């Protein structure tokens, strides 16, 4: 049976917003393969808090493949093996939610949480977070890089197996009386409903964005006779030239957003999908009220 560790980083609060995945395969008591991939989320909306954790920006993933293309390479091993993750409920939830969001078949998975392993084998007053356990065990890695986190997760499991003298991770689970979690095929996370956008608020959208020199500009979505139009107060926007501020918001990039509802950014990006393009112009010369 294949044993591998997995770690996801997400763009925002949704579990179906994976922006990176890392994996580490275990054979004969050692990590034998490591892989890491960036992923373009379906909605290119990055929450500032998530960016502060993993450092991945919308620009880093804009030209990367989406989840189905990335995961296809690894899904056979994931669905047929034992999957390790540190706080497995989160990472396995991201995996299942993302599969469901793209209408992909969600297979049965068997998983084991190395956070639970660490609490049984390497308990400590300061806790058993990935970085803390790795530091106690002398595992060197770059925290919150998906590939590095998957590697650390695998090494923690291997260290626990050595501690108990077991020949593999499944045997370790039996030795410490930690049951393997088996989730049936088709299981769906409650929050992984189809992407929705608050259409009713479309014509009330207004955002404040910061320019490259620190100037603040207003970007407003207006409903005019010719359809919905995005207006920006920057110099380019005043002359009707497509500006980077409007383009960024249209793809859900909130890197330069100073004020405005993040949900509105999602709605705006969904308005600009293939079905809506004939109705939406990128920019319109700004007119003072």
| 3-state per-residue secondary structure call for 187-206 | CCCCCCCCCCCCHHHHHHCE
Q: pLDDT of 167-213, one tens digit each?
A: 999 999 999 999 999 988 877 655 544 444 333 344 567 888 888 78
Q: Determine, yes or no, domain membership for 190.
A: no
Distance from the Cα of residue 33 to its chain's centroid: 22
What are φ and ψ of residue 237, in 5° steps? -65, -35
Q: pLDDT of 214-273, one tens digit each?
A: 888 888 887 665 566 778 888 888 877 778 888 887 766 777 777 766 666 766 666 655
Range of the domain at 240: 199-284
Q: pLDDT of 101-157, one tens digit each?
A: 999 988 999 999 999 999 999 999 888 999 999 999 999 999 999 999 999 999 999
Tell me which DSSP letter residue 65 carries.
-
Q: At residue 67, does pLDDT exceed 50?
A: yes
Task: Say what the pLDDT of residue 166 is.
Answer: 96
CATH number at residue 98: 3.30.420.10
Looking at the fold, whether 51 and 174 belong to one and the same domain comes out as yes
Q: Determine, yes or no, domain membership for 191.
A: no
Task: Say what the pLDDT of residue 196 is.
Answer: 40
Tokens standing for residue 102: 């793209």
Structural domain count, the chain: 2
Contact partners, residue 194, CB within 8 Å, separation at least 6: 101
Helix (H, G, I), strand (E, B) or coil at 118: helix
**Inter-residue contact 243 to 251 (CB < 8 Å):** no
Site of tokens 């379906």:
42
Determine the Cα angle at 54 with ends 52 and 57, to 5°. 80
Looking at the fold, whether 59 and 135 belong to one and the same domain comes out as yes
């Amino acid at each position: 049976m294949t044993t591998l560790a997995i770690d996801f980083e997400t763009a925002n609060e949704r579990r179906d917003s994976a922006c990176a995945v890392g994996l580490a395969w275990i054979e004969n008591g050692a990590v034998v393969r490591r892989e890491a991939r960036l992923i373009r989320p379906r909605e290119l909306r990055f929450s500032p808090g998530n960016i502060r954790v993993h450092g991945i920006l919308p620009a880093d993933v804009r030209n990367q493949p989406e989840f189905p293309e990335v995961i296809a390479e690894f899904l056979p091993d994931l669905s047929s093996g034992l999957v390790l993750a540190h706080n497995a409920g989160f990472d396995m939830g991201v995996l299942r939610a993302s599969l469901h969001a793209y209408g992909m078949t969600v297979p049965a998975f068997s998983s084991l949480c190395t956070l639970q392993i660490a609490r049984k084998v390497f308990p400590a007053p300061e806790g058993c977070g990935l970085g803390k356990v790795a530091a106690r065990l002398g595992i060197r890695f770059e925290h919150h890089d998906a590939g590095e986190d998957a590697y650390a997760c695998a090494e923690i499991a291997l260290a626990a197996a050595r501690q108990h003298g077991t020949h593999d991770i499944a045997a370790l689970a039996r030795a410490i009386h930690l049951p393997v979690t088996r989730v049936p095929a088709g299981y769906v996370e409650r929050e992984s409903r189809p992407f929705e956008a608050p259409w009713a608020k479309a014509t009330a959208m207004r955002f404040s964005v910061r320019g490259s020199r620190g100037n603040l500009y207003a970007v407003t979505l207006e409903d005019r006779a010719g359809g919905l139009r995005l207006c920006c107060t920057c110099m380019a926007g005043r002359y009707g030239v497509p500006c980077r501020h409007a383009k960024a918001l249209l793809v859900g990039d909130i890197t330069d957003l100073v004020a405005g509802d993040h949900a509105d950014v999602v709605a705006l990006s969904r308005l600009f999908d293939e079905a809506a393009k004939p109705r939406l112009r990128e920019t319109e010369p700004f007119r003072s009220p």
